[in-house]
Amino acid sequence: MKLDIKVVKDNMKNKFIPDIKYFDSVTSTNELALNMEDRIVKEGLVIVAGEQTKGRGRLQRNWHSPKNEGLWMSIILLPEQKNKDKYALLTLIGALSVQKAIKDLDINSTLKWPNDILYENKKLCGVLSQFKSVGGSIGRVVVGIGLNVNQDKFNDEIKDSSISLKMIKNEKINKEKLLVKILDNFSNYYNMFKNEKFNIITERWKKEMGMLHQNIIVNSLDKEKYKGKVIDITENGELKVQLDSGENKTFIAGDVSIDKNSLKL
Ligand code: BT5
């Protein structure tokens, strides 16, 4: 069923979100949010779509966003430049906000650094943060969230690695209530960010992350593979790994992916 945006707006309690713009169909909510004219952009503005015809993951990967079956949305932020080195935390905040909302449905999921929510090792949600520069510095941050809600099945390409809330709960999920909770949670976490309580965010992530103290393989963009044990999430949202060689190395989100086969969550 189509998202009833009026119900969502009527139930929003937090003051952080000035407006939610709903579209039946868009290429990508992130693309729309990034291209929106400065004069209509406000911090906390949310774009939600019924479907995305060109939903994007990281590195230009495809994000399947079938009509009315998920929550496909972007939150626009205008964070202070002085916290630029902390912007990776905004992706972590997106995942924490969704995870907390689905906990209320009695679903215990795990976070996979930097941008996934997994349930029994299958992907339930992905977060993609993108930036728009103005005059050489980052002016706008767009946090895109894709959450599988009411799908009964996935196409062959991703069916073994994906799951929806409905498949977990065996019942249809109310998207309006869920969206309100996610945005309330986001507003709370973003407040912590603004108040520079970065360690609360990273500590919470570490608690919910399935990878802490696990042996993993990190694939970097230069095709290099690193093997080691996850030991920390730094204050900047990087993954800190103790490599098998004994040396410690930190990774930033954009550069690496975690080899799925190395994870036993
Ligand atoms: C992500 O990328 O997980 C980020 C996904 C962000 C999507 C949101 S939706 C609203 C906003 N607007 C956008 O255009 N994007 C954001 P990544 O870690 O690169 O994972 C992408 C991979 O996940 C793909 O290559 C597929 O293997 C898999 N995948 C694609 N669609 C999926 C789905 N619906 N559920 C689970 N896995 C999926």
Ligand 1 within 6 A of 55 CB? yes
SS (H, E, C) 45-56: CEEEEEEECCCE
Q: Quick one: which atom of ligand 1 is closest to the CA of 54? A: 14
Contact assessment for residue 87 and residue 200, using Cβ atoms and an 8 Å cutoff: no
pTM: 0.96
Interval between CA 247 and ligand 1 midpoint (Å):
32
What does R_g of the chain's alpha carbons equal in angstroms?
18
Ligand 1 within 6 A of 114 CB? no
Nearest CA to ligand 1 atom 27: 158
User: pLDDT means per 10 residues in the chain (265 residues)?
Assistant: 96 93 98 95 97 94 97 97 93 98 97 95 96 81 98 97 98 98 98 97 95 90 88 96 95 78 64
For residue 149, the tally of other CB atoms under 10 A from its CB is: 22
Angstrom distance (rounded) from CA 120 to CA 8: 30
Cα-based distances in Å from 129 to 12, 34, 111, 156, 186: 23, 11, 16, 27, 14
Ligand 1 within 6 A of 112 CB? no
